[in-house]
Protein backbone atom coordinates (compact mmCIF):
# COMPACT_ATOMS: atom_id res chain seq x y z
CA UNK A 1 0.00 0.00 0.00
CA UNK A 2 2.86 2.38 0.78
CA UNK A 3 3.88 2.49 -2.88
CA UNK A 4 0.48 3.96 -3.76
CA UNK A 5 0.86 6.96 -1.44
CA UNK A 6 4.53 7.77 -1.89
CA UNK A 7 3.47 10.94 -3.75
CA UNK A 8 1.18 13.11 -1.64
CA UNK A 9 -2.02 14.29 -3.32
CA UNK A 10 -2.15 17.98 -4.20
CA UNK A 11 -5.94 18.32 -4.52
CA UNK A 12 -8.67 17.59 -2.00
CA UNK A 13 -10.53 15.29 -4.42
CA UNK A 14 -7.42 13.16 -4.87
CA UNK A 15 -6.81 13.01 -1.12
CA UNK A 16 -10.35 11.78 -0.50
CA UNK A 17 -9.72 8.85 -2.85
CA UNK A 18 -6.45 8.01 -1.09
CA UNK A 19 -8.09 8.22 2.33
CA UNK A 20 -10.87 5.85 1.33
CA UNK A 21 -8.27 3.39 0.00
CA UNK A 22 -6.17 3.64 3.16
CA UNK A 23 -9.19 3.09 5.38
CA UNK A 24 -10.01 -0.12 3.50
CA UNK A 25 -6.42 -1.42 3.55
CA UNK A 26 -5.47 -4.29 5.86
CA UNK A 27 -1.69 -4.16 6.36
CA UNK A 28 0.02 -6.66 8.62
CA UNK A 29 -0.25 -5.66 12.27
CA UNK A 30 2.90 -4.57 14.08
CA UNK A 31 3.80 -5.28 17.69
CA UNK A 32 6.94 -4.22 19.54
CA UNK A 33 9.51 -7.01 19.63
CA UNK A 34 12.23 -5.13 21.54
CA UNK A 35 12.07 -4.39 25.26
CA UNK A 36 12.84 -0.77 24.41
CA UNK A 37 11.83 -0.06 20.79
CA UNK A 38 13.21 2.90 18.88
CA UNK A 39 10.32 5.37 19.10
CA UNK A 40 10.26 8.21 16.59
CA UNK A 41 8.12 11.32 16.51
CA UNK A 42 7.53 14.17 14.10
CA UNK A 43 6.03 17.63 14.46
CA UNK A 44 5.39 20.66 12.23
CA UNK A 45 5.55 24.26 13.47
CA UNK A 46 4.24 27.12 11.36
CA UNK A 47 5.40 30.74 11.41
CA UNK A 48 3.86 32.88 14.12
CA UNK A 49 1.85 36.04 13.61
CA UNK A 50 -0.38 34.90 10.74
CA UNK A 51 -4.14 35.33 10.95
CA UNK A 52 -6.74 32.75 10.05
CA UNK A 53 -6.62 28.97 10.24
CA UNK A 54 -3.57 28.67 7.98
CA UNK A 55 -2.85 29.45 4.34
CA UNK A 56 -1.01 27.70 1.55
CA UNK A 57 2.63 28.79 1.51
CA UNK A 58 2.89 29.51 5.25
CA UNK A 59 6.55 29.06 6.32
CA UNK A 60 6.95 25.82 8.25
CA UNK A 61 9.59 23.77 10.04
CA UNK A 62 9.23 20.02 10.55
CA UNK A 63 11.35 18.08 13.01
CA UNK A 64 11.71 14.37 13.68
CA UNK A 65 13.50 12.51 16.43
CA UNK A 66 14.21 8.92 17.47
CA UNK A 67 14.69 7.88 21.08
CA UNK A 68 15.24 4.58 22.82
CA UNK A 69 13.86 5.12 26.28
CA UNK A 70 15.27 8.47 27.42
CA UNK A 71 18.27 8.35 25.07
CA UNK A 72 18.11 10.40 21.84
CA UNK A 73 19.47 8.44 18.87
CA UNK A 74 18.91 10.79 15.93
CA UNK A 75 17.03 13.92 14.90
CA UNK A 76 16.40 16.03 11.83
CA UNK A 77 14.85 19.36 10.85
CA UNK A 78 13.40 20.30 7.45
CA UNK A 79 12.24 23.79 6.46
CA UNK A 80 9.50 24.34 3.90
CA UNK A 81 5.98 25.69 3.53
CA UNK A 82 2.48 24.49 4.13
CA UNK A 83 1.45 22.78 0.91
CA UNK A 84 -2.25 23.72 1.34
CA UNK A 85 -4.54 25.78 3.56
CA UNK A 86 -5.67 24.21 6.79
CA UNK A 87 -8.92 22.28 6.39
CA UNK A 88 -10.27 19.84 8.95
CA UNK A 89 -9.97 16.26 7.73
CA UNK A 90 -7.48 17.28 5.02
CA UNK A 91 -4.41 17.91 7.15
CA UNK A 92 -2.35 15.56 4.99
CA UNK A 93 -2.43 18.10 2.15
CA UNK A 94 -0.88 20.76 4.35
CA UNK A 95 1.62 18.85 6.50
CA UNK A 96 2.18 15.40 5.01
CA UNK A 97 5.10 16.09 2.63
CA UNK A 98 7.10 18.01 5.24
CA UNK A 99 6.59 15.38 7.93
CA UNK A 100 7.61 12.60 5.57
CA UNK A 101 10.74 14.55 4.58
CA UNK A 102 11.72 15.05 8.23
CA UNK A 103 11.34 11.35 9.10
CA UNK A 104 13.17 10.28 5.93
CA UNK A 105 16.06 12.58 6.91
CA UNK A 106 16.72 10.63 10.12
CA UNK A 107 19.96 8.65 10.22
CA UNK A 108 18.27 5.88 12.23
CA UNK A 109 14.99 4.28 11.19
CA UNK A 110 12.47 4.21 14.07
CA UNK A 111 10.48 1.10 14.90
CA UNK A 112 7.32 3.17 15.31
CA UNK A 113 6.52 6.87 14.79
CA UNK A 114 4.37 9.12 16.97
CA UNK A 115 2.42 11.74 15.02
CA UNK A 116 0.56 14.81 16.25
CA UNK A 117 -2.55 13.85 14.31
CA UNK A 118 -5.55 11.51 14.31
CA UNK A 119 -5.81 8.06 12.74
CA UNK A 120 -9.18 6.29 12.48
CA UNK A 121 -10.87 9.18 14.30
CA UNK A 122 -11.54 10.88 10.99
CA UNK A 123 -14.47 11.40 8.59
CA UNK A 124 -13.03 8.75 6.25
CA UNK A 125 -11.21 6.75 8.95
CA UNK A 126 -7.80 7.72 7.56
CA UNK A 127 -6.27 10.74 9.26
CA UNK A 128 -2.73 12.01 8.86
CA UNK A 129 -1.27 9.64 11.47
CA UNK A 130 -2.43 6.68 9.40
CA UNK A 131 -1.62 8.26 6.01
CA UNK A 132 1.92 9.18 7.04
CA UNK A 133 2.60 5.64 8.19
CA UNK A 134 1.48 4.27 4.84
CA UNK A 135 3.66 6.78 3.00
CA UNK A 136 6.67 5.87 5.17
CA UNK A 137 5.81 2.16 5.28
CA UNK A 138 6.23 2.40 9.05
CA UNK A 139 3.98 1.71 12.05
CA UNK A 140 2.47 4.91 13.44
CA UNK A 141 0.50 6.11 16.45
CA UNK A 142 -1.38 9.39 16.67
CA UNK A 143 -1.23 11.47 19.86
CA UNK A 144 -3.44 14.55 20.22
CA UNK A 145 -4.81 16.69 23.02
CA UNK A 146 -8.40 16.01 22.00
CA UNK A 147 -10.30 13.76 19.58
CA UNK A 148 -11.27 14.96 16.12
CA UNK A 149 -14.79 13.50 15.93
CA UNK A 150 -14.91 10.65 18.46
CA UNK A 151 -16.42 10.83 21.93
CA UNK A 152 -15.83 9.01 25.19
CA UNK A 153 -15.81 9.51 28.93
CA UNK A 154 -12.49 10.30 30.55
CA UNK A 155 -10.71 7.43 32.30
CA UNK A 156 -9.80 7.23 35.98
CA UNK A 157 -7.05 9.39 37.42
CA UNK A 158 -4.35 6.71 37.75
CA UNK A 159 -1.49 6.66 35.24
CA UNK A 160 -2.31 4.11 32.55
CA UNK A 161 -6.08 4.41 32.95
CA UNK A 162 -7.83 4.38 29.59
CA UNK A 163 -11.31 4.55 28.12
CA UNK A 164 -12.57 4.05 24.55
CA UNK A 165 -13.09 6.78 22.00
CA UNK A 166 -16.08 5.90 19.83
CA UNK A 167 -17.12 7.13 16.40
CA UNK A 168 -20.44 5.82 15.06
CA UNK A 169 -20.20 2.98 17.58
CA UNK A 170 -16.69 1.95 16.50
CA UNK A 171 -13.71 2.17 18.84
CA UNK A 172 -11.23 4.36 16.96
CA UNK A 173 -8.89 5.29 19.79
CA UNK A 174 -8.59 5.77 23.53
CA UNK A 175 -8.36 8.42 26.15
CA UNK A 176 -5.15 7.63 28.04
CA UNK A 177 -4.05 9.06 31.37
CA UNK A 178 -0.28 9.39 31.02
CA UNK A 179 0.18 11.30 34.27
CA UNK A 180 -1.89 11.29 37.43
CA UNK A 181 -3.80 14.55 37.81
CA UNK A 182 -3.17 15.66 34.21
CA UNK A 183 -5.69 15.80 31.39
CA UNK A 184 -5.67 12.54 29.38
CA UNK A 185 -4.34 12.36 25.83
CA UNK A 186 -6.26 11.06 22.84
CA UNK A 187 -4.31 8.08 21.47
CA UNK A 188 -5.01 6.96 17.91
CA UNK A 189 -4.01 3.70 16.19
CA UNK A 190 -2.37 4.58 12.90
CA UNK A 191 -0.73 2.46 10.19
CA UNK A 192 -0.25 -1.18 11.25
CA UNK A 193 -1.20 -0.51 14.89
CA UNK A 194 -4.33 -1.15 16.95
CA UNK A 195 -5.63 0.56 20.08
CA UNK A 196 -3.81 -1.75 22.50
CA UNK A 197 -0.46 -1.32 20.78
CA UNK A 198 -0.96 2.44 20.48
CA UNK A 199 -1.60 2.72 24.22
CA UNK A 200 1.39 0.47 25.00
CA UNK A 201 3.74 2.58 22.86
CA UNK A 202 2.59 5.91 24.31
CA UNK A 203 2.88 4.69 27.91
CA UNK A 204 6.33 3.22 27.27
CA UNK A 205 7.50 6.51 25.72
CA UNK A 206 6.38 8.51 28.75
CA UNK A 207 8.72 9.60 31.54
CA UNK A 208 6.43 11.20 34.08
CA UNK A 209 5.31 13.97 31.75
CA UNK A 210 1.93 14.22 30.05
CA UNK A 211 3.31 14.16 26.49
CA UNK A 212 5.66 11.34 25.39
CA UNK A 213 9.34 12.30 25.37
CA UNK A 214 9.90 11.74 21.60
CA UNK A 215 7.10 14.18 20.74
CA UNK A 216 8.42 16.75 23.21
CA UNK A 217 11.92 16.38 21.74
CA UNK A 218 10.70 16.81 18.15
CA UNK A 219 8.48 19.77 19.09
CA UNK A 220 11.38 21.52 20.81
CA UNK A 221 13.58 21.06 17.73
CA UNK A 222 10.86 22.41 15.42
CA UNK A 223 10.27 25.45 17.61
CA UNK A 224 13.99 26.17 17.84
CA UNK A 225 14.27 25.97 14.04
CA UNK A 226 11.29 28.29 13.69
CA UNK A 227 12.86 30.82 16.05
CA UNK A 228 16.10 30.76 14.04
CA UNK A 229 14.22 31.06 10.75
CA UNK A 230 12.13 33.98 11.93
CA UNK A 231 15.21 35.73 13.31
CA UNK A 232 17.01 35.31 9.99
CA UNK A 233 13.95 36.60 8.12
CA UNK A 234 13.82 39.73 10.27
CA UNK A 235 17.55 40.30 9.73
CA UNK A 236 17.03 40.19 5.97
CA UNK A 237 14.09 42.60 5.98
Q: Does any domain span residue 223?
A: yes
Q: Is residue 100 part of a domain?
A: yes
User: What DSSP string describes the chain?
Assistant: -GGGGSSPPSSHHHHHHHHHHHHH--PPP----SSS-EEEEEEEEEPTT--SS--TT-EEEEEEEEEETTEEEEEEEEEEE-SS---TT-HHHHHHHHHHHHHHT-SS--SEEEESS-SSSSTTS--HHHHHHHHHTS-EEEEESS-SS-B-----SSTT-EEEEEETTEEEEEEE--STTSPPEEEEE-TT--HHHHHHHHHHT-SSSSS-HHHHHHHHHHHHHHHHHHHHHHHH-
| pLDDT one-digit tens code per residue, 71-104 | 999 999 999 999 999 999 999 999 999 999 999 9
List pLDDT tens digits, range 153-169: 999 999 999 999 999 99
Look at the chain and report how many structural domains it folds into.
Answer: 1
Say which CATH number the domain at 125 has. 3.30.2170.10
27 in a domain, yes or no?
A: no
Identify whether 9 is part of a domain.
no
Task: Tell me which residue range forms the domain holding 137.
Answer: 38-236
Q: Average pLDDT of 58-62?
A: 97
In this predicted structure, what is the pLDDT of residue 1? 40
Residue 207 within a domain: yes
Residue 232: half-sphere exposure toward Cβ, Cα within 13 Å: 9
What pLDDT score does 202 carry?
97
Q: pLDDT tens digit string along 183-210?
A: 999 999 999 999 999 999 999 999 889 9
Asked if residue 113 has pLDDT above 50, the reply is yes
Residue 68, pLDDT above cutoff 80: yes
Q: How confident is the model at residue 3 (pLDDT cuts 50, 70, 90)?
A: very low
Q: What is the pTM of this model?
A: 0.95
Amino acid sequence: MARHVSVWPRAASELLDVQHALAAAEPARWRPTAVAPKVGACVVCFARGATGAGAEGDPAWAAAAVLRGRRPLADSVVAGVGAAPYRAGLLALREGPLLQAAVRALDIVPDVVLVDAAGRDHPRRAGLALHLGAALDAPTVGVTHRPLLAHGAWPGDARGARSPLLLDGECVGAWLRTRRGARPLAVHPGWRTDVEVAVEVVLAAGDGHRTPRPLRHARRLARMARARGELEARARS
